[in-house]
Amino acid sequence: MKIGFIGTGVMGKSLVKHLLNAGHTVNIYNRTKAKASSLIEDGAVWNDTVKEITSQSDVIMTMVGYPADVEEVYFSDEGLIANAQNGTLLIDLTTSTPSLAKRIDIAAKAKGLKALDAPVSGGDSGAKNKTLTIMCGGDEADFQLALPLLQLFSKNILLQGAAGSGQHTKMCNQIAIAGNIMGTCEAISYAKAAGLQVEQVLASISKGAARSWQLENNGQKIIDEDYEPGFYTKHFIKDMKIAIDEAKLMKLELPGLKLAHSLYEELAKGGKENLGTQALIYWYKQNQS
């Protein structure tokens, strides 16, 4: 199958490799060609523009940074909606807004295209190990078309409902993560203050009722002082802001989410927006009395 892939960043790069390994032709575009050099060496076909990808792809996946980037890729004159061939399936893997996902779905159908919002969770390790969770919104028939491709890099793929439902589900995911990562940082901070062996503490609590992905994965990274981004702090801030805005529209109060967002905002102001989400531990280090 001829697949277009737009956005070959930390996670996108691994997904393109899985598609190539499955024997698909993958046409790629990224704002910075140099960042896609290893994929080109692996056999991906470089395209100079988004428009160029549309002329030679049956399915086009997008994984970009922010809703504004999604808007540009889909709705600009050179974008997907205006130029994709009739019947093309568009799959947006970006975490974006539910309202934008609905706009894409409406515009795609008007042009004879198919669309899914399909944000992912699992970070760079999930992308590399083909264990991502994907939360989809759209029509059942389009979901079934996409499923064999999504299964190449995911182990948990569910259709949540109509267009926008995937993005709403991803907001639920990010809300849960916000509390978990704060809890992980606070548990480690407490263990250190109490003079405990932190790794020993982690070995105990990560197997009991406190067990979570954050504790098992980012907990060890915090101990190792490894702040490389499996998922960027700046992107998590973006996600939390989307969730806060959506909750406001629903007249829903989420105080825990607002607190996490405020702590990460402080982190970003301190120049740490390009570190991984586990870098929240810096806030706790800086605020110890």
pLDDT digit string, tens, across residues 23-59: 999 999 998 999 899 999 999 999 999 999 999 999 9
Q: Same topology for domains 2-163 and 168-286, yes or no?
A: no
- pLDDT at residue 289 above 70? no
Residue 10 has pLDDT above 80, yes or no: yes
Residue 212 neighbours by CB distance under 10 Å: 18
The domain defined by 168-286 carries CATH number 1.10.1040.10: yes
State the catalytic residue, choosing from 170, 221, 238, 272: 170
Known active-site residue 13: no
Query: Could you tell me what percent of the chain has a pLDDT over 70?
Result: 100
Question: How does pLDDT run across 51-92, given as a tens digit for each residue?
Answer: 999 999 999 999 999 999 999 999 999 999 999 999 999 999
**Residue 196: both structure tokens together:** 């405990």
Binned at pLDDT 50, 70 and 90, residue 288 comes out as confident
What are the residue ranges spanned by the domains of the chain?
Answer: 2-163, 168-286
Structure confidence at residue 123 (pLDDT): 87
pLDDT confidence band for 287 (50 / 70 / 90): confident
One-letter amino acid for residue 241 of the chain = K
- Nearest residue to 148 (alpha-carbon basis) of 134, 162, 169: 134
pLDDT, tens only, 174-222: 999 999 999 999 999 999 999 999 999 999 999 999 999 999 999 999 9
CATH of domain 2-163: 3.40.50.720
More confident residue, 230 or 166: 166
